Amino acid sequence: MPRERKIPSPEPDFDFFAPHPHPTKVRVINSMFGSVPDAFDGKTLELGKESPRRQKKTTEDATATPTPEPELETKTEPEPVPVEEVMKPSVASEVKAMAWDTSDGSAQSRLFIKGGRIVNDDQSFDADIYIEDGIIKQIGNNLVIPGGARTIEAKGKLVIPGGIDTHTHMQLPFMGTHAVDDFYSGTKAALAGGTTMIIDFVLDQKNVSLLEAYDKWRNWADSKVCCDYALHSCVTWWSPEVAKEMDILCKEKGINSFKMFLAYKDVFMLEDNELYEVFKRCRELGALGMVHAENGHLIAEKSSEMIQHGITGPEAHEMCRPEEVEAEATNRAITLANQANCPLYIVHVMSKSAAKVVTKARRQGKVVFGEPIAASLGTDGTHYWNKCWRHAAGHVMGPPLRPDPTTPGYLMDLLANNDLQVTGTDNCTFNADQKALGKDDFRKIPNGVNGVEDRMSVIWEKGVHTGKMDPCRFVAVTSTNAAKIFNIYPQKGRIAVGSDADIVVWNPNASRTISAKTHHQAVDFNIFEGMLCHGVAEYVMTNGHVVLDEGQVRVTQGMGRFIPLPCNSETVFSRIRERERVGNSEMVFNRIRERERTTKPCKVEREPYDGPVAKITATQMSEKMIVADNPIIPNNAEFHGRPMTSSGARNLQDSTFSLSGQQIDEKSPRRSTTRSLNPPGGKSSGLW
Ligand code: URP
Ligand code: ZN
Ligand code: ZN
From ligand 2's centre to the CA of 31, what distance in Å?
Answer: 46
Average of pLDDT values for 122-147? 97
Are the C-beta atoms of residues 500 and 492 closer than 8 Å to each other? yes
Q: Which atom of ligand 1 is nearest to the CA of 268?
A: 8
Would you say residue 6 has pLDDT above 60? no
pLDDT category of residue 626 using cuts at 50, 70 and 90: low
pLDDT score recorded for residue 602: 80
pLDDT category of residue 491 using cuts at 50, 70 and 90: very high
CB-based contacts of 400, cutoff 8 Å, min separation 6: 317, 318, 321, 350, 381, 384
Q: Which of 198, 321, 348 to mutate to test the pocket of ligand 1 (most atoms within 8 A of CB)?
A: 348
Least distant ligand from the CA of 172: 1
Asked if residue 398 has its Cβ within 6 Å of ligand 1, the reply is yes
Report d(CA 35, CA 238) in Å as an integer.
51
Would you say residue 562 has pLDDT above 90? yes
Pairwise pLDDT comparison (591 vs 417), residue with the higher score? 417
pLDDT score recorded for residue 24: 30
Pairwise pLDDT comparison (628 vs 297), residue with the higher score? 297
pLDDT score recorded for residue 106: 61
Would you say residue 451 has pLDDT above 90? yes
pLDDT score recorded for residue 543: 97
Would you say residue 475 has pLDDT above 90? yes
From ligand 3's centre to the CA of 260, what distance in Å?
Answer: 11
Asked if residue 455 has its Cβ within 6 Å of ligand 1, the reply is no
Would you say residue 88 has pLDDT above 80? no
For residue 58, the tally of other CB atoms under 10 A from its CB is: 16
Would you say residue 641 has pLDDT above 70? no
Residues with CB under 5 A from ligand 2 (ion): 292
Report d(CA 663, CA 648) in Å as an integer.
16
Would you say residue 438 has pLDDT above 70? yes
From ligand 3's centre to the CA of 568, what distance in Å?
Answer: 23
pLDDT score recorded for residue 629: 59
Report d(CA 329, CA 327) in Å as an integer.
5
Q: Which of 348, 447, 450, 452 to mutate to test the pocket of ligand 1 (most atoms within 8 A of CB)?
A: 447
Average of pLDDT values for 169-195? 98
Residue 215 Ramachandran class (φ > 0 left, ψ -120 to 50 alpha, else beta): alpha
pLDDT score recorded for residue 587: 75
Nearest CA to ligand 1 atom 5: 448
From ligand 1's centre to the CA of 447, what distance in Å?
Answer: 6
Over residues 224-280, the pLDDT tens digits come to 999 999 999 999 999 999 999 999 999 999 999 999 999 999 999 999 999 999 999
Q: What is the three-class DSSP state of 135?
A: strand
Are the C-beta atoms of residues 442 and 305 closer than 8 Å to each other? no
Report d(CA 373, CA 429) in Å as an integer.
14
Strand partners, 229: 198, 562
Asked if residue 292 has its Cβ within 6 Å of ligand 1, the reply is yes
Are the C-beta atoms of residues 133 and 109 closer than 8 Å to each other? yes
Are the C-beta atoms of residues 407 and 364 closer than 8 Å to each other? no
Over residues 98-112, the pLDDT tens digits come to 233 334 556 568 999
Closest listed residue to residue 436, CA positions, set 154, 124, 66, 177? 177
pLDDT score recorded for residue 640: 42
Residue 560 Ramachandran class (φ > 0 left, ψ -120 to 50 alpha, else beta): beta
pLDDT category of residue 617 using cuts at 50, 70 and 90: confident
SS in 3 state form for 553-565? ECCCCCCCCECCC
pLDDT score recorded for residue 354: 98
The per-residue pLDDT of the chain, averaged, comes to: 81
Report d(CA 445, CA 398) in Å as an integer.
11
The continuous run of DSSP H or E covering 44 comes out as strand 44-47
Asked if residue 294 has its Cβ within 6 Å of ligand 1, the reply is no
Would you say residue 183 has pLDDT above 70? yes
Closest listed residue to residue 331, CA positions, set 370, 284, 381? 370
Would you say residue 376 has pLDDT above 90? yes
Would you say residue 181 has pLDDT above 60? yes
pLDDT category of residue 581 using cuts at 50, 70 and 90: confident
Poorest-pLDDT segment among 141-150, 204-213, 587-596: 587-596
Buried residues in 578-603 as b, exposed as e (16+ CB within 10 A) = ebeeeeeeeebeeeeeeeebbbeeee
Would you say residue 469 has pLDDT above 80? yes
Over residues 643-669, the pLDDT tens digits come to 444 444 444 444 433 444 444 344 443
Are the C-beta atoms of residues 415 and 477 closer than 8 Å to each other? yes
pLDDT score recorded for residue 328: 98
Asked if residue 426 has its Cβ within 6 Å of ligand 1, the reply is yes
Predicted TM-score (pTM) of the model is: 0.79
pLDDT score recorded for residue 92: 30
Distance from first CA to last CA of the chain, Å, rounded? 62
pLDDT score recorded for residue 579: 82
As a whole number of Å, the CA-based R_g of the chain is 28
Report d(CA 474, CA 464) in Å as an integer.
7
The continuous run of DSSP H or E covering 650 comes out as none
